[in-house]
Structure 1
Amino acid sequence: MGMKIAKITTQKNRQDRFNVFKVESGKEEYAFSVDENVLVQWQLRKDMTLTEENIEMIQTEDQKRKVWNDALHYLTHAMRTEYQVVQYLKKKEYEQAPIEETIGKLKEYRLLQDEEYAMAFVRTKMNTSDKGPAVISEDLYQKGVSKDLSEKALQQYTYEAQLETAQLFFQKKGKPKNNESASSMKTRLINALRRKGFSMEVAFEAWENEQVEMPEEEEKKAVFTQGEKARKKWGKKYTGSSLKMKIKEHLYRKGFDLSHIEHYLQYEMEVSEEDNNEEKI
C-alpha cells in the first residue's frame, strides 16, 4: 500500500531539511523528514505516491546524508582522527554501515588523514607546550593514531629540540622550594621533566647544560630550619651524640650536603643548646 504526499514544507530551524506530510483518513499528517539532496535526488513533490520500499530507501539515503553532514560539521572546528570521528558518530547512535561509508568518503576526499593529523599534532605540541615525546605519543594513542604513524610523526621532535624544551623548563622551574636541599631540588625537577615525557638522558643532559644550582646560603638556611625541626621532634627522646646522630641521618636522607650538616651540628646546634641553657638559668 502506497503513501500519497500531501505537502512538503521547509523546517523552521533547518533550511536544508524538509518535512514530508501524507494524507491519512482525509487529513494531512507528518510522515518523515529528508535532506535537501535526498529531496532533489528522489524528485519528491506534492501528490506523488511512494511505496513502503520507496520510503525505506529514502530514509536510508537520508541517514547517510545526516551522518555525512554531522561528520563535516565535526571536522570544521578542528582536525580529527578517524577514531575520533567514528566515536562522535557512534554517540549520535548512527548505524555502522553509514558510518563506514562516510569514513570512506572522507578519506577519499582527503578530509580525514591520520598521518597529517599526527604530524600537525606533534608540531603543535613541540611549539606550544613543554611535553616530551612519551606523553605526546600517549596523547596520539588516546586519539586513535596507530603506533607506526605516531612514531613517524615524532621523528620531527629531534633530540636537539627535546633538549631545548627541557632546558627551557629548567630555566623557568629551576628554583628551590622552601627548606629544600640542592639534591632534593635536582631529583624533584628531573622527575617532573620525566613525567612530562622526556627520557632520563635528555633530562640529565639538560640539567648539566643549564647548571641549575642552589645558592649556598639558601641550603645552609634550609639545613638549619630542617635541623631545628628534627631537634624539637627528637630532643625529648634523645640527647647528646645520640641526638646529633639522629638529626644527621635525617638531614642526610633529605639530600643535604654533608659539610652543611656538619656545620649545623657543630656550630648552630651548639649555639641553640647554649641559648636554651641560659634561659633555664
Structure 2
Amino acid sequence: MSKIITKIEAQKKKDNRVNIFINGEFAFGCSSELVYYHNLSKGKEINIEELKKVIVEDNFLTAKTKALKYIERALKSEFQVREFLQKKEYEDSVIDRVLEFLKAYKFIDDEYYAKAFVTQNIRIEGKGNIRYKLIKKGISEEMINNILNEISSKDEETVALKLAEKKLKVLCKNEGNIVKIKSKLNTFLISKGYNFDTIKSVVNKLEIKEKENIEDFRSDGYNQVKENQWGELLSIAEKRYERLSKSEEDAIKIKKKLQDFLLRKGYNYSDIKTVLNKIIKGEDSYY
C-alpha cells in the first residue's frame, strides 16, 4: 500500500513544529524546517526510506537544540553533554553527530573547559581534588596532567598556606590541644586535595609549637577581628532591634528573634550576647 501525506498541520504549542499525517493517520511530528527541506506536501507519496531520513534529521535538530540550551547556562565538557543527551534517550549516532557539530563550532572544547575549571578552583583547593573532579567530567588524564603541571608547587603551597591560616584561627577559638589542632588542620588540608609534602610544609610554616602560639592566634586573629567588626555588628543589631520592636512587644521574643538573626549572619555567640545586653538592657560595658 502506498503512503500518501494526507495532512500537515502546525502544532498548537510549538510554532516551529508540525504534525505529519499519512493515509489519514498521525505519523510523526517534525521541525517545519524539514517540511521545506524535504519538499513535503499534502498529496505527496513518500516511501519508508524517506520517512526514516526525515525522522533521523528531526531527532538531530531537536537534540542539537536541547544541547545548545544545556551549554548556554555554563561551560560543559563533551562527556557532560553526551551524558545529558543519553538521559534524553537519543540514539548514539544522533549524539555523535550533535557533538561533532558542537566541537566544530567551538561550543564545547574540553581543553578550554579544563583550563577554565583549573583557573577557577586552584584558588580554593589542591590539585588532587581538581584532578578527581575533572576525571568525573570526562577529561582525559593526559590533558589534566598537562594543565596541572603548569601550576608550580610553590603557587599551590601559597594557596594552601592561606587556607590553613584561616582554618587555624577558627580551630584556635575552640580548641586548646596542640595535637588535636594539628590533626584537624591536616584533615582539613587533605579534604582540600593537597598532597603530603605540601601539607607538611604548610603545617611547619605555621609553627604550631607552644600554647602561647595558640593564644597569639586568638588575640591577633579572633580578638582583632572582633574589635574591627564590633561597630558593624552593633549597627546591624540596632537596626534589626528597631524593626522588631515595631511588630513585637514581648521583650523575650524580641531578644530571641534578634539573637537568631545575628547567629544566621555568622557572628560569634559571645559577641551577640554582649550586643543584646547593650541594646536591650542598656548596659554601658561592651565586654
TM-score (ref. length: structure 1): 0.68
Letter in 1 for 2:132: E
CA-CA distance at 1:179 after TM superposition: 5.2
Of residues 152, 160, 163, the one that matches 2:146 is 152
CA-CA distance at 1:126 after TM superposition: 1.9
Q: Which moved more, 1:210-219 or 1:68-77?
A: 210-219
The secondary structure found in structure 2 opposite 1:7 is strand
The secondary structure found in structure 1 opposite 2:172 is coil
> Counterparts of 1:78-93 in structure 2 under 5 Å?
78-93=74-89
CA gap of 1:37–1:170, structure 2 versus 1, over 3 A, is: same
The secondary structure found in structure 1 opposite 2:4 is strand
Cα distance in 2 for residues equivalent to 1:137 and 1:10: 49
| Aligned counterpart, 2:26 | 30
Cα distance in 2 for residues equivalent to 1:179 and 1:134: 28
Cα distance in 2 for residues equivalent to 1:74 and 1:213: 52
1:196 lines up with 2:192 in the alignment: yes
Of residues 95, 103, 119, the one that matches 1:99 is 95
CA-CA distance at 1:23 after TM superposition: 4.0
For CA contacts below 8 A with separation 6 or more, give which structure has more relative contact order: 1
CA-CA distance at 1:156 after TM superposition: 4.1
Cα distance in 2 for residues equivalent to 1:212 and 1:79: 42
Cα distance in 2 for residues equivalent to 1:208 and 1:116: 36
What are the Cα deviations for residues 147-178 of structure 1, in whole angstroms up to 9, with x where unaligned?
01111221343323212221121221102374
> Counterparts of 1:84-233 in structure 2 under 5 Å?
84-127=80-123, 130-174=124-168, 175-176=171-172, 178=174, 180-212=176-208, 215-216=211-212
Larger radius of gyration: 1
> Counterparts of 1:2-21 in structure 2 under 5 Å?
2-21=2-21
| Aligned counterpart, 1:229 | none
Letter in 1 for 2:8: I
Does the CA contact (< 8 Å) of 2:122 and 2:130 recur in 1? no
Identity of aligned residues (%): 28
CA gap of 1:217–1:148, structure 2 versus 1, over 3 A, is: closer
Letter in 1 for 2:19: N
TM-score (ref. length: structure 2): 0.67
Cα distance in 2 for residues equivalent to 1:89 and 1:217: 56
Does the CA contact (< 8 Å) of 1:176 and 1:214 recur in 2? no
Q: Which 5+ residue runs of structure 1 have no aligned equivalent? A: 220-281
Cα distance in 1 for residues equivalent to 2:73 and 2:89: 21
Does the CA contact (< 8 Å) of 1:133 and 1:197 recur in 2? yes
Does the CA contact (< 8 Å) of 1:134 and 1:198 recur in 2? yes
Cα distance in 2 for residues equivalent to 1:213 and 1:48: 88
What are the Cα deviations for residues 99-146 of structure 1, in whole angstroms up to 9, with x where unaligned?
11222222222222111111011011124xx21100110000111110
